[in-house]
Chains A and B, each alone.
Chain A
Amino acid sequence: MLAFAARRLLVSLGLVWVVASLVFLVIHLIPGDPAELLLSQGGIAPDPAAVEELRERLGLNEPLWTQYLTYMGGLLRGDFGLSLQDEHPIAEEIALRLPRTLELVGMAGLLSVIFGVPLGIAAAMRAGGALDRILSAWAGFALSVPVFVVGTLAVLVLAQQLKLVSAGGYVPLARDPGRHLALLMMPAATIAVGLGAVVFRVMRSSVLEVLEREHVRAAQARGLAPAAIIRRHVLRNALTPVVTVVALHLGSLLGGTVLVEFVFNWPGLSGYLVRAVEARDYPEVLGIVLVISTLFVLLNFLVDLLYAVIDPRVRHG
């Protein structure tokens, strides 16, 4: 088992290195000069000497391979470098923003489960009935509406027209927990509309499948109360695929909450990545992508280990 874990760990580290190198190459290959961009803000022509000086200062005049080695050397020391825009430590900024995205994604997942699981069960238990048809139609609609449409509508109706909530923004938890939660709910609920529909669908089909199993039929034949059957015999079995689907979606949401962060002014990691790409802030882009990919790889590594624990054949496969 230990050898298997070590092998997987090595592969995971290799993957992270490949991702970092690829991103380094790609971001340097696309047109756009960070020094020129920074000094050209607002449609202004910068002094070429100033641009050259800034390039020199930022190390952008070094050969690409030197920049690569310097960056990788920094990474080995745990140093993500400084932002090209204001020399702010990137690790510090990621440490600030990652929890916000995790919080957003986590809350979205929670809301999805709160909505999706019970509604999925209810629909499955009344398969083909009015409730099932209504909920399934809702799920289809929720899945087909883009997240930015849901978000924009929420802002328009709830914030702008009804003035029930803030239009967006962020307040640190430590400063004002209540307002922090209030500001978190809108973007999280927006993500949860689509994700909840996914959970609903998976839950519904999973429950339907479990309801057909023999042990459930036997329980029904024994005259057990439907609630008890659901709780004891259906829910646990039906939840497994839901957990897998939710985990997969949450993983992809780590770097994919750009639109929601933008629409609600939530200062998370995705928005940070987009702005870094726009500014061609190479160290920032690399640092963020590296963190996201490391989380993915880590997640896969843990899943691999879990599979190995569940099924010993995997270790020798």
Chain B
Amino acid sequence: MGPTTSRRAVLAGSAAAAMLPFLRIPGARAGTPGELTFGLSSFPPSIQPWANTGTAAATVKLMIYRGLTSYAPDGALRGELAESWQPIGTQGWEFKLRDARFQNGEKVTSADVKWTIEQIAAERSTAYFRAEMQGVERIETPDDRTVRIFLKAPVATLPIMMASYHLPIISRNSPRGSFVGAGPFTIKAQERGVSIELEPFAGFFRPGLPKLKRIRAIAYADENLRVAALRSGDVDLIEYVPWQSMDAIAADPALKLDTVDGAFMFLVFNGTRAPFNDHRVRRAVAHAIKRDELVRAAFFGRGSALMQLPVAESSPFYNAEFKEGWKYDPDLSKRLLAEAGHAGGISCSLLSTAQYGMHKDTAEVVQQHLAAVGIRAELNLPDWATRVAIGNRGQYDLAVMGTAADSNDPDGIANFIDGSLSPSYVRSFGLKIDRITELLAAGRAEFDQAKRRDIYREMERIAIEQAPMVGLTWRSQGYAMRRQVTGFTNLPGALTFYSGLTFETTDVA
């Protein structure tokens, strides 16, 4: 047979087919001045203003909504829709509103603030701050620019609470089922699960802001693809930079990396049963972990050891004397186990999740370190949904958890150590330490900063001794961007997820 014709046809066909993937048509990519393409880590399941639906949703909320207060790029609390605030006695706060407008053109008034708080506190509300807003006794609106909030108990941290992305002020005249905010951007279009397009709100109260003419937020669930999209020029800015890519991004002259130690990993316990209902066993765990190894193994060295409560070093409430409160000391760990009657070691379950690498890797390293002091932990690594359910029901002995605090104020970690709160996977199960609960309440009610510092110092001392949770590592939380992106800042410490606030000053050259 003479295959000449066939071979030619075959080769031509193959060559043509091979060229198909290279049909690159430029356009609609990053690099347009004044327009930002932002790689989100996931598509927000919902952008309901007052419910917690994750950090990706929070970032979008920070683009379209504003609260009474917020944070400056250095992390300092600043006025937002409120230009000033002051306490009234011990149980009241007065906020003076600035001349701002909602995206429907209406003025932001004290009536809108009152309405917002009432919606959050409503009986059928699913808002994150529902319980806190139900602690509001009454709200006075003497004029359009003044709102006075009186609480059932003193809350010194109310202005911090008001800075939360779960507490934006919404126009009381919003159409049913939608929410009109006063943020710097408005949603122009969205394709569910894919992308959200935003355009600037011309009536934003800060003169000259926002700088961008357009934001296109595209969800890239795969962290490696998110990095590839940045490096190939598809996007200008990405969030949740994976740790393994940070060195390469930092070394790339075309890119900038902005990281802070904001989120943290920790261990929680089942306090309803032996052996972790004994604080000596919990401390034995705390002293058994080589945290530097953990940072290297789980976070590629991008993080730092956390041997005390997770309060940022930059916070005025940081207690340097407890810096090594839970330092690695295997001998002490073994002694504590022996004192607790477990000289022969113990067996337990260690809950984490295989769905997120940082949780799985942390659990595996912790398991090895615990084994070295005689704690034989059997790993349970279900998917995240199951892990949450198991954690909420207390069906574990020891569990790995990772998150960020609500704020850089020590009250922001109450969720993780206050055992009087309802059972939750984010804190130890059934582990109530009355003195910690009392001190948290005292700190929340105290307006004098010096006294607050004393209260939280005492609280941390008890926490180091009782170990209601055990800090493991701070983990770097990173944003990466092209050099042409300016004005975007990763906020410090626990406020890293508030960095979306700086989209108002962001620009693309």
Contact = CB atoms under 8 A, between A and B. Distances in A.
Interface of A: 30-33, 36-51, 53-54, 57, 85-86, 88, 93, 96-97, 111, 114-115, 118-119, 121-122, 125-126, 152, 154-156, 158-160, 163-172, 176, 178-179, 181-182, 185-186, 189, 220, 225-227, 229-230, 262-265, 267, 271-272, 275, 278-280
Interface in B1-36: 1-3, 5-7, 9-10, 13-14, 16-17, 20-25, 27-29
Contact of B17 (A38, A40, A114, A125): A114
Nearest to A120: B10
Given A42-B403, A119-B10, A278 B45 contact: no
B424 A165 contact: no
Nearest to A52: B126
A85 B193 CA distance: 12
Interface string B33-59: 000000000000110100111110110
B217 to A, nearest CB: 12
Interface stretch (B227-235, B286-294, B331-339): B227-235
Nearest to B231: A160
Interface stretch (B321-329, B361-369, B380-388, B459-467): B380-388
B131 interface: yes
Interface stretch (B83-91, B110-118, B218-226): B218-226
A20 to B, nearest CB: 21
B415 A54 contact: no
B21 A189 contact: yes
A53 to B, nearest CB: 5
Contact of B232 (A160, A178, A179, A226): A160
A31 B28 CA distance: 42
Contacts of B225: 155, 167-168, 263-265
B14 A118 contact: yes
Contacts of B23: 178, 181-182, 185
B194 A165 contact: no
Contacts of A267: 191, 193-194
A138 B131 CA distance: 63
B176 interface: no
A218 B50 CA distance: 80
B46 A86 contact: yes
A278 B128 CA distance: 22
Nearest to A86: B46
A50 B125 contact: yes
Contact of B27 (A30, A86, A179): A179
A195 to B, nearest CB: 13
B337 to A, nearest CB: 29
Contacts of A168: 220, 225, 228-229, 234
Nearest to B220: A265
Nearest to A228: B5
Interface of A is mostly: helix
B6 A226 contact: yes
Taking each of A51, A53, A54, which has the highest tally of chain B beta carbons within 10 Å of its own beta carbon?
A: A53
A206 B256 CA distance: 56
Nearest to A159: B232
A171 B48 CA distance: 26
B390 A115 contact: no
B436 interface: no
19 contacts: A37-B384, A44-B128, A50-B126, A86-B48, A86-B192, A125-B1, A163-B232, A166-B229, A167-B232, A171-B28, A181-B25, A182-B23, A226-B5, A227-B5, A263-B225, A265-B221, A275-B193, A278-B384, A280-B385
Interface of B: 1-3, 5-7, 9-10, 13-14, 16-17, 20-25, 27-29, 45-46, 48, 51-55, 57-58, 124-128, 130-131, 191-194, 218-222, 224-225, 228-229, 231-234, 355, 382-386, 388-390, 392, 401-404, 415, 421-422, 424-427, 497
A165 B228 CA distance: 11
A265 B219 CA distance: 8
A226 B1 contact: yes
Given A167-B225, A227-B6, A176 B27 contact: yes
B124 A39 contact: no
A183 B193 CA distance: 17
Given A50-B127, A125-B6, A263 B222 contact: yes
A41 B52 contact: yes
A176 B28 contact: yes
B130 A31 contact: no
Given A41-B54, A50-B125, A85-B46, A186 B21 contact: yes
Given A160-B231, A179-B25, A181-B23, A37 B385 contact: yes
Given A42-B497, A45-B421, A165 B385 contact: no
A187 to B, nearest CB: 10
A42 B58 contact: yes
B353 to A, nearest CB: 11
Given A43-B401, A50-B125, A85-B45, A279 B385 contact: yes
A130 B248 CA distance: 42
B25 A43 contact: no
Contacts of B125: 50, 53
Given A47-B130, A263-B225, A182 B24 contact: yes
A267 B13 CA distance: 30
Contact of B131 (A31, A49, A155, A164): A49
A216 B322 CA distance: 87
Contact of B21 (A53, A185, A220): A185
A99 to B, nearest CB: 14
Contacts of B29: 166
B6 A41 contact: no
A175 B228 CA distance: 24
Contacts of B5: 226-227
Nearest to A54: B126
Nearest to B422: A48
Contacts of A85: 45-46, 53
Contacts of B422: 45, 47-48
Contacts of B234: 159, 166-169
Taking each of A44, A189, A229, which has the highest tally of chain B beta carbons within 10 Å of its own beta carbon?
A: A44
A280 B384 CA distance: 11
A170 B1 CA distance: 47
A50 B166 CA distance: 14
A115 B126 contact: no
Taking each of A156, A169, A225, which has the highest tally of chain B beta carbons within 10 Å of its own beta carbon?
A: A169
B164 to A, nearest CB: 11
B25 A41 contact: no
A160 to B, nearest CB: 5
B19 to A, nearest CB: 10
Contacts of A121: 6, 10
A114 B388 CA distance: 48
B426 A118 contact: no
Contacts of A50: 51, 125-128, 130
A280 B388 CA distance: 12
A189 B20 contact: yes
B6 A166 contact: no
Given A37-B385, A45-B426, A167-B225, A185 B130 contact: no
B24 A53 contact: no
B231 A278 contact: no
A93 B193 CA distance: 10
A86 B28 CA distance: 29
A263 B63 CA distance: 28
